[in-house]
């Protein structure tokens, strides 16, 4: 099956809708103009974590071992192509200093030998818990072997590895995910992850069996094997599509072993959402995290084109100090 999801040759698998692309381009420009400074953000409307010392690292909230960061957050530092050792060393050092112990890589596998990457991660006390990269079947054995050597449990891509144009296309894409996941499962990686943007919730079909209206995302959930495929629900993009995110996690939490924790303002606006640091936007994380508890293994922070490392440190603290 031919896929359009090779993130090594595309920009983050280009967000599907034009308004998403416009948002990324605007964010890139803002990041270039203001790198190293944290942009002002509106007052939070979401539930805030307990910022007192008792709330952080007390075991009452999200454990450090489950907090991760998608490194596309710092794409302005790493670039869209293969990063250099020097770039990785700098970014690894900064995210480790912010408090993160897990990272989610993108554009994996890298050009560097896996043992070199592993040594660099070890130097900074980091674990590559998951990754986004190519899902091309021709190179899948290489991708899986690289991830397995790093000890990753989850690998996938930044978008959907196939078409969701029709119900039938979406079922075919689900079959391809199973194919990817079954191979990975039997070669050292636990599962393939599926990361969403807004479009997979906005695309709807009439279910041929029930006659109900279902989203493309629901079709993928229904037609994939839970042994091989899990879902990395991106909270911000799901909210932008008008979904009841907490309800979605409550209903399908046993299929979600990872979350992309994204905050934003202007959620659902025609011009597209604007990403901000955790706690500075409109997302109400408390009911989502309560619904996710016990199912989700990694809470992976992401802000595409984050303006600074300080913003990641602040977002790490939000997760680390969050109490339910």
- 128 in helix, strand or coil? strand
User: What pTM was estimated for this model as a whole?
Assistant: 0.85
**The pLDDT value given to residue 164:** 98
The per-residue pLDDT string of the chain (324 residues; one tens digit each, 9 = 90 and over) reads 434 344 333 333 333 333 343 344 344 434 433 333 333 333 333 444 444 334 475 556 799 999 999 999 999 999 999 999 999 999 999 999 999 999 999 999 999 999 999 999 999 999 999 999 999 999 999 999 999 999 999 999 999 999 999 999 999 999 999 999 999 999 999 999 999 999 999 999 999 999 999 999 999 999 999 999 999 999 999 999 999 999 999 999 999 999 999 999 999 999 999 999 999 999 999 999 999 999 999 999 999 999 999 999 999 999 999 987
pLDDT at 63: 93
CA dist 15 → 23, 162, 167, 261 (Å): 9, 14, 21, 17
What is the dotted CATH code of the domain comprising 18-31+81-235+307-320? Answer: 3.20.20.150
Q: How far apart are CA 16 and CA 14, in angstroms?
A: 6
Domain boundaries, the chain: 18-31+81-235+307-320
Report which DSSP code applies to 99.
Answer: T
């Amino acid at each position: 099956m031919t896929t359009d999801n090779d993130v090594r040759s595309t920009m983050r698998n280009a967000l599907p809708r034009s308004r998403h692309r416009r948002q990324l381009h605007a964010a890139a420009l803002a990041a270039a103009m203001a790198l190293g400074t944290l942009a002002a953000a509106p007052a939070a409307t979401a539930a805030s974590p307990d910022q007192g010392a008792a709330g952080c690292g007390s075991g009452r909230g999200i454990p450090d071992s489950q907090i991760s960061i998608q490194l596309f957050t710092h794409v302005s530092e790493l670039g869209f192509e293969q990063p250099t050792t020097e770039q990785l060393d700098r970014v690894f050092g900064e995210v480790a200093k912010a408090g993160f112990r897990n990272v989610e890589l993108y554009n994996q596998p890298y050009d560097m030998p896996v043992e070199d990457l592993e040594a660099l991660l070890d130097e900074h006390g980091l674990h590559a818990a998951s990754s986004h990269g190519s899902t091309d079947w021709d190179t899948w054995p290489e991708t899986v072997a690289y991830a397995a050597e790093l000890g990753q449990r989850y690998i996938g891509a930044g978008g959907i590895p196939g078409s969701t144009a029709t119900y039938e296309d979406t079922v075919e894409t689900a079959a391809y995910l199973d194919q990817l996941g079954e191979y990975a499962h039997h070669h050292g990686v636990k599962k393939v992850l599926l990361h969403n943007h807004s479009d997979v919730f906005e695309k709807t079909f009439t279910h041929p069996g029930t006659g109900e209206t279902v989203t493309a995302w629901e079709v993928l959930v229904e037609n994939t094997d839970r042994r091989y495929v899990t879902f990395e629900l991106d909270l911000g993009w799901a909210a932008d599509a008008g979904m009841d995110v907490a309800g979605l996690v409550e209903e399908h939490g046993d299929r979600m072993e990872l979350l992309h924790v994204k905050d934003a303002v202007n959620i659902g606006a025609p011009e597209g959402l604007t990403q901000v640091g955790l706690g500075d936007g409109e997302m109400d994380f408390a009911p989502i995290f309560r619904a996710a508890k016990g199912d989700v293994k990694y809470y992976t922070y992401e802000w595409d084109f984050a303006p600074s490392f300080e913003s990641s440190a602040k977002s790490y603290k939000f997760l680390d100090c969050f109490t339910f």
